[in-house]
Amino acid sequence: MKITTIFLGSALVTSSLFAADNLAKAAKDAGLIALPTNQAALAKLAEETAIDAKDFPSTPERVELGKKLFFEPLLSKSGIISCNTCHNLARGGVDGIPASTGHKWTPNPHHVNAPTVYNSVFNTVQFWDGRAAHLAAQAQGPMTADPEMASSPKLVEDRINSMPGYVEEFKKAWGDQKITFELITGTIGIFERTLNTPSRFDEFLAGKSDALNAEEKAGLKLFIDKGCTTCHIGINLGGTMQPFEVVKKYKFANVGDFKGDANGLVKTPVLRNVELTAPYFHNGAIWKLTDAIKEMGSIQLGIDISDKDAKSIATFFKSLTGKMPEVVYPILPAQSESTPIPALDY
């Protein structure tokens, strides 16, 4: 009897491992790609993926400088808004509100919210309408947009060049290169390449069968079987341009006037850390993850996803919450008497 019990137990373990291997293979066959969990391999992949890396190659000095610039509110006209304001690294890389709010407390005029900055180097494009090809180009947009940071390339250059601390750090990082708007935003992009979050899901795809629990595996299987991987593919399970409202109209389509790019395509939301990035959709009109899953099923796949199945898929999504990189808040260089003063435009 004991021998039989041991044999049956071993068979169950073997069966479970086989099922997990099959699920991992199905996930990969569906187009899902693991992030490396090894930090050196992860950094190498980010550098290889960044299409602006040829113009702005990474070094430790540039990463540190880029971090300071990411947190620097003096890049905004008012002197109170930084990149971190809308892409809060302590809050999943987002601001957690439906429409991002900028200069003079102005909400985004198109009622779009801020996508997460985490893992953004692995998006094929940046912004909801995909208008920027890489992180350096993306960083330029909010800085010069009136409802966001409301600055100008000249003001950004004048502020940074007026502070001896920054001038010294740019010299260490870039040698004798002139400190231009493009170099400033390119350096921010270098820092953003480091904001990657490998998760238990990546361990599962890499062969660690127990990295996900039974409920998360069931949710992953539903995610694949329902057809969610039609759009949510690749390393980020999103981040590529895809058709929107394929079968039905989005029920909150009238919130804001965003329509996607010229072809009606929209950048698919990144699902990594998705439990941290509410509210959902481009206009932040849905707050519950299960509601977002059901709405996606309806408008994209033409199917009704039950409350039970939506909850199961949301359980899988929690396995995509990754290990956040440690980011120590920097002490920023002092202003000088020649630093242009903030303009709040009250």
Active-site positions read 148
**Was 143 annotated as part of a binding site?**
no
**Was 103 annotated as part of a binding site?**
yes
**Was 86 annotated as part of a binding site?**
yes
- Taking the alpha carbons of 18, 23, 28, 34 in that order, is the dihedral positive or negative? negative
**Was 110 annotated as part of a binding site?**
no
**Was 324 annotated as part of a binding site?**
no
CA-CA distance, 18 to 23, in Å (whole number)? 9
Q: Do residues 281 and 292 lie in contact, with contact meaning Cβ atoms separated by under 8 Å?
A: yes
Question: Using the 8-state DSSP alphabet, how is residue 281 labeled?
Answer: T
**Three-class DSSP category at 193:** coil
**Was 232 annotated as part of a binding site?**
yes
- Residue 172 CA: distances (Å) to CA of 67, 139, 156, 176, 267: 15, 22, 20, 9, 37
Q: Which of 339, 326, 346 has its CA nearest to residue 75?
A: 339
- Residue 241 CA: distances (Å) to CA of 12, 100, 141, 185, 325: 42, 21, 19, 24, 27
**Was 282 annotated as part of a binding site?**
no
Positions at the binding site for heme c? 83, 86-87, 103, 228, 231-232, 296
Annotated binding site: 83, 86-87, 103, 228, 231-232, 296
